[in-house]
Amino acid sequence: MKHLTILVPDGHNNLSSMVGSWKIFTRANQYWVKQGREPVFEVQLAGLSEAVELYDGLFTIKPHTAALKIKHTDLIIIPSLNHCFEETMALNQELADWIKWQYNQGAAVASICTGAFLLAATGLLDGKTCSTNWAVKDAFISMFPEVTLLPDRLITDEHNIYTNGGAFSFLNLIIYLIEKYYDRPTAIYCAKVFQIDIGRSSQSPFIIFTGQKDHDDEAVKKAQDMMEANPGERIAIGKLATQVAVSRRNFDRRFIKATGNTPLEYWQRVKIEVAKKAFENTVKTISEVMYEVGYSDEKAFREIFRKITGLSPLDYRGRYHKNVMAG
């Protein structure tokens, strides 16, 4: 039997990501037992402390064992650290060292949501790809520039290291791991029991674009403000550069350095975010919304919308329009 360690770090953690992981793997084991097969994993919660209080003492979780006492494990799951990842990372340096040691002994490691920060602190993600909650993208890139962040990806799988996007998308990661360590029928069974939409690969439809202004380039900020104030305009990028008194070549370079996007990519994201809100809250047609955000070619608009959100305009409206949500 393999060994699965679900970590309970000291500090701020997300209870659901630990309990959810434990429940689904336990159910997968039970499914195999009913079929006359041996359970795949011994599942244990492990941490540095005998008990960890969560949500200002509302809940207390008591791990089965101390992580540092575990000499061998086959799979480690790092839970979400909520949005207090810097404090939690500082409290768990011993745990980070233990994760790295176990990985070098052959263990696979999976991080949930902001658990990617603790995983990245081990150095194991250097030179690799990673996903995490889209809302903390800028903080992650700033802290771990040697890691290639893929903020739209729901799951990454590279060299026995798995990461996933934000919040309850961890359920998709757990189903992915169930299929990898058990089999496809078991993954489908667990997906049906826990009503998880199997096969999702992107968190793009859930991303809320709020701009990337955590930088000190005032010319770029001025250009961003102009884009966001006039989403329906068709301002040429060259003209925008002139209006902020920067040459086109330098403008592109500075914009990418400041925001991580080219000016055109940023301009498209601004327009599509406005279009998303229109589809969520109004009954305007696709053509009306398209014209309002400065597009005249419906094919081009549909392609850019799908590229950014992962859905067609029609599918997005069908999923998120207020009348659909109310129904």
The answer to whether the beta carbons of residues 241 and 247 sit under 8 Å apart is yes
By the 8 A CB rule, do 271 and 231 touch?
yes
* CA angle at 128 for the pair 127 and 129, rounded to the nearest 5°: 135
Residue 205 has a pLDDT of: 65
Which fold is adopted by the domain 2-206? Rossmann fold (3.40.50)
Q: What is the dihedral of CA 51, 65, 116, 1, to 10 degrees?
A: -150
**Structure confidence at residue 204 (pLDDT):** 65
pLDDT at residue number 244: 92
HEC string of the chain equals CEEEEEEECCCCCCHHHHHHHHHHHHHHHHHHHHCCCCCCEEEEEEECCCCEEECCCCEEECCCEEHHHCCCCCEEEECCCCCCHHHHHHHCHHHHHHHHHHHHCCCEEEECCCHHHHHHHCCCCCCCEECCCHHHHHHHHHHCCCCEECCCECEEEECCEEEECCHHHHHHHHHHHHHHHCCHHHHHHHHHHCCCCCCCCECHHHCCCCCCCCCCCHHHHHHHHHHHHCCCCCCCHHHHHHHCCCCHHHHHHHHHHHHCCCHHHHHHHHHHHHHHHHHHHCCCCHHHHHHHCCCCCHHHHHHHHHHHHCCCHHHHHHHHCHHHHHC
What topology does CATH give the domain 218-326? Arc Repressor Mutant, subunit A (1.10.10)
Side-chain half-sphere of 177: how many Cα atoms within 13 Å? 31
Q: Can you give the pLDDT at residue 325?
A: 46
- How far is residue 195's CA from residue 198's CA, in Å, rounded to a whole number? 9
Give the Cβ contact number of residue 79 at 10 Å. Answer: 26
> Cβ neighbours of residue 191 under 8 Å, at least 6 residues apart?
175, 197, 198
Global pTM value: 0.70
The amino acid sitting at 35 is: Q
Could you read off the pLDDT tens digit of each residue along the chain, which spans 327 residues? Answer: 999 999 999 998 889 999 999 999 999 999 999 999 999 999 999 999 999 999 888 999 999 999 999 999 999 999 999 778 888 999 999 999 999 999 999 999 999 999 999 999 999 999 999 999 888 888 999 999 999 998 888 899 999 999 998 878 899 999 999 999 999 899 999 999 999 987 666 666 666 677 778 788 999 999 998 888 888 888 789 989 999 999 988 999 999 988 888 999 989 989 998 998 899 889 999 999 999 999 999 999 999 999 888 889 999 898 888 665 444
Dihedral sign of CA atoms 111, 114, 115, 120 in order: positive
Query: What are the residue ranges spanned by the domains of the chain?
Result: 2-206, 218-326
Q: In whole angstroms, what is the distance from residue 76 CA to residue 110 CA?
A: 6
Q: How many other C-beta atoms are found inside a 10 Å radius of the C-beta of residue 297?
A: 10
* Closest to 102 in 3D by CA, of 147, 64, 70: 70
